[in-house]
Structure 1
Amino acid sequence: MKIIDWYILKRYLGTFTVMLLLFIPIGIVVDVSEKINRILENKVPLSSVLAYYLDFTIYFANMLFPILLFLSVIWFTSKLANNTEVIAILSSGISFNRFLRPYIVGATLISLFALLMGLILVPKASVGYNDFKYKYLKRNSEVRETQNVYKQISPDEFIYVSNFNFQSKTGFNFTMEKFKDNKLLYKIRASRITWNPEQKNYTLSSYFKRSIGPMGDQLEKAETKDLKLDFDIEDLTPAVYAAETMTLGELNKFIERETMRGSANINAYLVVKYKKYSVPISTFILTIIAVSVSSMKRRGGMGVNLAVGISLAFTYIFFDKIFGTLAEASTIPPLFAVWFSNISFGILAIILLRNARR
């Protein structure tokens, strides 16, 4: 790499790092101002708060990754253009494609970083982020977010809970039915089912089991009963929450299992999976758009480039969120929904790049 490549690459990575260091503290301050009363009311330990904001930093940085990258490239490239550095570089005989090379190298480094975050760091941070939120920050009326969960956990087994409490890992009005040859073998009911992580089993309160037999039914009752049941706690949690807290390997196995069960939440799991790959690819697309838009010296200066950049960045995020939500709630293919923003903005990047070359 030549001196000019190192110069641009350092500006690329340096500006992006500065953007992260500027916006993350702002996000933390805003989050603290919203949650400080609840934290003090619940007397949350300082160690838990610090761990939460470490997870929040990773979670927040991953969420704002595309817009921060886009704005950082627009910012320092506009400065290069206003200082006529871009004109000087291109006038020396360097083609626009050659000028773009250090940007692509920088985009490659950041996309690898984003991929590492999405596959390893973000799932772990999501666990701590969501656990803290549901344990300390949600009121009882807000905690029970999962309602009327009905799932087929095997070809002949079905479970149901009316709602699920994240704080206590407890489901309410639990029912489990076992069939064979379309005939009911037994039915289990309980007013409450609680997951015991240490024992890897469930505690059922107001337990009642009715077994259907040829010579008559058998009834079994108990105030509480511990059982090992063939389903996981994720089966009682919201689709996106469960998917966000899994690594890629865990998510692939989970999707395969849920597909066999005929789960209605497959699209939500697939959206989370495909986004792990789409975000790193968006690094290259947004970099090319940002360079193409901001490499020309404009009469309005950096303000015009930033205005255009912010508009495009929020348009990208808007399409990403809208189509992701539609894929979860409708029949739109998740792969198309997740990649729609990259495809449409990829076409825009090609058009803008051709105009910039001229």
Structure 2
Amino acid sequence: MLPILDRYLIRKFLGTFFFILAIVMAISVVFDVSERIDDFLESNATFWEIITVYYGNFVLYYGNLFSHLLIFITVIIFTSKLAQQSELISILAGGVSFNRLLRPYFISATILVIIALLLNHFVLPMSNKARIDFHVEHLWNSFKIRENNLHREIEPGVIAFAESINLEYNTAYRFSIEKWEDGKISEKIITDRAIFNPEDSSWTLRYVTHRKFFEDGEESLRREISLDTLIPVVPKDFGERPEIAATLGYNELNEYIEKEKLKGSDQVVFFEIEKHQRTSYPLATYILTLIGVSIASRKARGGIGLHIAMGFVIILIYIFVMKVSTVAATNAGVNPLISVWIPNIVFLILAILLYSKAQK
């Protein structure tokens, strides 16, 4: 049985957190409804589907996504209130050490971390699939691949290139396939236009140039106006919505990353970031909890307002560092594992410094 002090602080922690979470999610839903009301009216989604499928999963996803930041605000608010009412001073003066005071905070944080980890790795992928399926069916326009000069390794040593893809017409422009053996190109097929036939998964190539390269340096050249062939790739393989990462379970995500690496996909980094964030975000709760207690436990002349302002400044800095590190992974080639954990490492150092100066 936990001591009275622990039960009191845990009740304060969890009660304040879920109250703030409910308020933030209610406000988020109101803003989202006002933004999407026209889309809902134009879609064929029923009111029940909008409430249960869309907003049920909307609250689950965004509530969990920002939970570690809301936990930080929670700690700031209720700890600052305890400090302003001199309750913390009484507790510390009564012989309770600051380290002992942290115990109920970290018990509460652990409960929320476990919930977040279970949601991230097991529950949310299914929830996100339902939410994104709703988007695809009722809200999103048809998916378009806007990138140019795309390439995929469709088989070991076989690489497909496309200057551009039009999914609406299942057509790849300036399409080519290269076959490589022992580091040398052995065959290349170039076509002005390749049309995918969904009925039998075949491709129709228009204005084809077929070149073969031999070991003696000779090559053969053949041209055809039209050629029907089977190629183990479909147009959508050249581009996926990044949101699909959120619909994959842990094992599925690992398998998908390995498959995309074999294809030479430049989208791999987004999926690796998603994989690592599922663990790094919940564990940031411990760091932000320590920062929150260290800041708010000291009675300040500015009161709760000053502590909340400091909390929001720290959150903004955390989000900024998180965004910069993510961009470093996607655009500068930084390892996704390192980039995802950089914000936690930076703020762990800050947490230790603030803890050393906290009111003991």
State the TM-score, normalized to the length of structure 2.
0.84
> Structure 2 matches for 1:164-175, cutoff 5 A?
171-173=170-172, 175=175
Shift in Å, 1:207: 6.0
Shift in Å, 1:139: 4.0
Residue of structure 1 equivalent to 2:99: 97
| 1:236 paired residue among 218, 235, 239 | 239
Larger CA deviation: 348-357 vs 251-260: 251-260
Q: Counterparts of 1:90 and 1:63 in 2: how far apart (Å)? A: 34
User: RMSD value over aligned CA atoms?
Assistant: 3.0
Contact kept, 8 Å, 1:67 with 1:314, in 2: the verdict is no
Task: For residues 119-154 of structure 1, give each alpha carbon's deviation from its aligned partner in whole angstroms, at most 9, with x where no partner exists.
Answer: 1223223323333334322345xx415433321222
Shift in Å, 1:356: 0.9
Contact kept, 8 Å, 2:151 with 2:265, in 1: the verdict is no
Contact kept, 8 Å, 1:176 with 1:187, in 2: the verdict is yes
Task: For residues 22-41 of structure 1, give each alpha carbon's deviation from its aligned partner in whole angstroms, at most 9, with x where no partner exists.
Answer: 11111111111111112212
Contact kept, 8 Å, 2:273 with 2:340, in 1: the verdict is yes
Residue of structure 2 equivalent to 1:179: 179
Equivalent residues, number: 343
> Structure 2 matches for 1:134-149, cutoff 5 A?
134-139=136-141, 143-148=143-148, 149=150
Q: Secondary structure at the match of 1:152?
A: strand
- Whether 1:38 and 2:42 are equivalent positions in the alignment is no
Q: Secondary structure at the match of 2:324?
A: helix
Q: Counterparts of 1:128 and 1:330 in 2: how far apart (Å)? A: 33
Contact kept, 8 Å, 2:203 with 2:231, in 1: the verdict is no
> Structure 2 matches for 1:1-358, cutoff 5 A?
1-50=2-51, 51-139=53-141, 143-148=143-148, 149-160=150-161, 162-163=164-165, 171-173=170-172, 175=175, 177=177, 179=179, 181=181, 182-184=185-187, 190-192=194-196, 203=201, 229=232, 236-238=239-241, 240-358=242-360
Shift in Å, 1:254: 1.9
The letter for the 1-side match of 2:114 is L
Contact kept, 8 Å, 1:164 with 1:237, in 2: the verdict is no
Q: Counterparts of 2:98 and 2:278 in 1: how far apart (Å)? A: 31
Q: Counterparts of 1:71 and 1:329 in 2: how far apart (Å)? A: 32
Q: Counterparts of 1:130 and 1:34 in 2: how far apart (Å)? A: 17
Q: Counterparts of 2:221 and 2:146 in 1: how far apart (Å)? A: 39
- Pair 1:145–1:81, CA change in 2 (3 A): farther
Shift in Å, 1:67: 1.9
Q: Counterparts of 1:205 and 1:228 in 2: how far apart (Å)? A: 7
Contact kept, 8 Å, 2:196 with 2:234, in 1: the verdict is no
Q: Secondary structure at the match of 2:334?
A: coil
Q: Counterparts of 2:66 and 2:87 in 1: how far apart (Å)? A: 29
Q: Counterparts of 2:221 and 2:350 in 1: how far apart (Å)? A: 72
Contact kept, 8 Å, 1:327 with 1:334, in 2: the verdict is yes
Q: Sequence identity of aligned pairs in percent?
A: 31
Task: For residues 211-266 of structure 1, give each alpha carbon's deviation from its aligned partner in whole angstroms, at most 9, with x where no partner exists.
Answer: 779897788656xx9x683679565314x323222111111122223334443333
Q: Counterparts of 1:55 and 1:209 in 2: how far apart (Å)? A: 48
Task: For residues 12-60 of structure 1, give each alpha carbon's deviation from its aligned partner in whole angstroms, at most 9, with x where no partner exists.
Answer: 1111111111111111111111111122123333343231112211221
- Pair 1:293–1:180, CA change in 2 (3 A): closer
Q: Secondary structure at the match of 1:340?
A: helix
- Pair 1:187–1:46, CA change in 2 (3 A): farther
Q: Secondary structure at the match of 1:10?
A: helix
The letter for the 1-side match of 2:289 is T
Q: Secondary structure at the match of 1:153?
A: strand
Q: Counterparts of 1:263 and 1:241 in 2: how far apart (Å)? A: 16
- Pair 1:228–1:120, CA change in 2 (3 A): farther
Q: Counterparts of 1:230 and 1:254 in 2: how far apart (Å)? A: 16
Q: Counterparts of 1:145 and 1:236 in 2: how far apart (Å)? A: 6
Q: Secondary structure at the match of 1:108?
A: helix
- Pair 1:163–1:126, CA change in 2 (3 A): farther
Unaligned runs of 5+ in 1: 195-200
Q: Counterparts of 1:85 and 1:73 in 2: how far apart (Å)? A: 15
Unaligned runs of 5+ in 2: 213-219
Q: Secondary structure at the match of 1:297?
A: coil
Q: Counterparts of 1:124 and 1:275 in 2: how far apart (Å)? A: 17
